[in-house]
A = this chain, B = another copy of it.
């Protein structure tokens, strides 16, 4: 139920093709719909342009299916993140059209083609960081953005990064995904003039403390245009990159 949907409904009321009672019924759940265990924020797509996203961790199968069934009545291209294969099977029971991105662990419910605009680059330091990078990239693509992937360009071989300088320079926004010491965010931040969103990953061991090292590293970046999201939060980075990329028209 986004703004287009809302306008359309009101025009039908105006023209008389929908009567008042039916419209009231429809609008009753506009702000949110209460399932008991979840209140679906239908207003979100009006407010932010994106329908509610389902974060699957910590929810049981019944709850996820219930939420999927309700949201899919009014929305398209609904993202379900942190979605394991087993959970996806349950989602497909509720929506047969749902598609799955396994590296990214994302399901898209009621998928619909979207025009992809602008230019987001998603950069990863290492091969092991790719699942988080894919979460960012798929999120951004589903939300209607052009995404360029540049993987395994960590600072231990800086020439690999310098080699893709031109692609970095053309981006509206760069998502930089790195574990271990997370130095890549600073180096990219020093090279480009676009905003950089750092995503520390939990890749590493010992004193990486589950991604803390990369997180602190990115927060203390000596390069100026870098902000940071939670450890392994590819979704959040892809989402914000989309908000930024779409400002450019």
Nearest B residue to A178, CB-CB: B222
CB distance from A91 to the nearest CB of B (A): 15
Q: Is A144 an interface residue (CB 8 A)?
A: no
Cβ contact of A202, chosen from B55, B193, B206, B213, cutoff 8 A: B206
Task: Tell me the smallest distance from the CB of A87 to a CB of chain B, in Å.
Answer: 13
Contact A215 B205 (CB under 8 A): no
User: Which stretch in A5-13, A18-26, A109-117, A239-247 binds the other chain?
Assistant: A239-247
* Contact call A156/B237, Cβ cutoff below 8 A: no
Residue ranges of A at the interface with B (Cβ–Cβ < 8 Å): 31-32, 36-39, 41, 43-44, 47-50, 53, 55, 57-59, 63, 67, 125-130, 151-160, 162-163, 172-173, 179-183, 186-187, 189-195, 197, 200, 202-233, 235-237, 239-240, 243-244, 247-249
Nearest CB of chain B from residue A177's CB, rounded to whole Å: 12
Known A-B contacts A44-B157, A159-B43; the reply to A230 vs B215 at CB < 8 A is no
A127-B37, A195-B240 in contact; A207/B231 too (CB < 8 A)?
yes
Residues A187 and B195 in contact, CB atoms below 8 Å apart: no
Contacts A183-B187, A192-B48, A233-B206; is A39 near B160 (CB within 8 Å)?
A: yes
Chain B residues near A36: list those with CB within 8 A.
Answer: 151
Contact B239 A224 (CB under 8 A): yes
Q: A48-B225, A127-B58 are in contact. Are A39 and B180 (CB under 8 A)?
A: no
Partner of A230, one of B207, B214, B231: B207
